[in-house]
Amino acid sequence: MVRLTVELIARSSNYFKNRKDESLGQCLKKITHLNFSNKNIDEIDDLSLCRNLTVLYLYDNRIQQIRNLGFASNLTHLYLQNNAISCIENLTSLKKLEKLYLGGNCITVVEGLEGCEELRELHMESQRLPLGEKLLFDPRTLHSLAKSLSILNISNNSIDELKDLAILENLSQLVAVDNQLREVEDLECALSQWRKLWRLDLRGNPVCQTPKYRDKLIVLSKHLEILDGKEIHEMARQFLMNWKASKDAKKKIKPAITMNEQAAYPLLYDFETANAMLPAHYEHTTIANIEKPKYVMFSKTRGCPRRMQRAHEKRHINVTEDIRLLATKHPHSALSGSGAGEPHFLTYAAL
């Protein structure tokens, strides 16, 4: 069992060798950087005499609990990766903390950072999580970091969605490698809010196998410069943006054309009535000086006259003569001997 104490600092630091004229307390006050990484340390003792400490290296140790750091109001960098920490605690008084490294621990919830409103970097990669669990985020912590956090590393934590992180409005770099993100649509909410995001790394997620995954993300996030370790060229971005704009325009035009066609030709589009494809009635229409129809389509119905059946079976049909014959026998059809308004779909049932 190794505890980090002021005595251990005094024995291990070369800082004190040439300062025999100063007391231990005076020397400790002047220390700004401490490096006790990989020293088998499992507990942090009272270090309140190191009041000007700004950078503390304690990675690759056996620390299980974050404690006795409340005095370090000037601390800006804290390295605690690869320990046995299970809970983020006792850091709310670190008002000037800018970079926090907690990767490789046993943390299940990102919490306890409500007072760290100057935090710019948070590294939470590769937590040793219980089987079937994923890394979670306390909404209170996310809210307090919304305007400050710029770099976030959450790789290898079984994360399957990012929508809760959309509140981080100043995020510029996100590393979320080897998680369980699956759908591009699930990323859309967050990407639309991260307007300063220029680097995104999602390698090792199932979503990367989605067709045109890279193209879709480039269109969704207009400020991305590096995606999955590859630079995004401006020419490629412009091409994809133009392609999407053209595609969206076509989607808007197509429904409009369909509605206009239905309004202009209601009988052709009214498939719910039995008369949808029957000829239009011309009882109250005067047709004159209109080109004669070039064809007439006949459909067989039960009980039709034999003469009409034989005419239908002719290899060459005299269209004009047939129309005149119909107009003579059935004046109500309004088909004059001199012409007709447009080709008609006629049934023998109407005759």
The tens digit of pLDDT for each residue in 154-203 reads 999 999 999 999 999 999 999 999 999 999 988 988 998 999 999 999 99
Q: Predicted confidence band at 206 (pLDDT cuts at 50, 70, 90)?
A: very high
Looking at the chain, the whole-number percentage of residues with pLDDT higher than 70 is 66
Q: Predicted confidence band at 116 (pLDDT cuts at 50, 70, 90)?
A: very high
Closest CA to 169 of 198, 137, 188, 197: 197
Residue 41 belongs to what H/E stretch?
A: strand 41-44
First to last CA, the chain: 106
Residues linked to residue 78 through DSSP beta bridges, in sequence order: 56, 100
Q: Predicted confidence band at 275 (pLDDT cuts at 50, 70, 90)?
A: very low
Stated length of the chain: 351
Residue 319 belongs to what H/E stretch?
A: helix 319-329
pLDDT at position 336 is: 45
- Cβ burial 44-59 (10 Å sphere, 16+ → b, else e): beebebbeebbbbbbb
Q: Answer with the residue of higher pLDDT: 147 or 242.
A: 147
What confidence tens digit (pLDDT) does each residue in 307-347 have? 555 555 554 445 555 555 555 555 554 444 444 444 444 44
Query: What span, in angstroms and rounded, lies between the C-alpha atoms of 91 and 117?
Result: 11
Q: Predicted confidence band at 266 (pLDDT cuts at 50, 70, 90)?
A: low
Under DSSP, is residue 144 helix (H, G, I), strand (E, B) or coil? helix
The mean pLDDT value for 33-52 works out to 94
pLDDT at position 234 is: 82
The mean pLDDT value for 89-116 works out to 96
Looking at the chain, the whole-number percentage of residues with pLDDT higher than 90 is 53
Tokens of 86: 């299970």
The mean pLDDT value for 201-216 works out to 94
Query: How would you classify the pairing of strands 173-175 and 136-137?
Result: unpaired
Q: Answer with the residue of higher pLDDT: 207 or 290.
A: 207
pLDDT at position 261 is: 58
Rounded to two decimals, what is the model's pTM? 0.69
**Beta-carbon neighbour count of residue 26 at 10 Å?**
11
Query: What span, in angstroms and rounded, lies between the C-alpha atoms of 277 and 146?
Result: 62
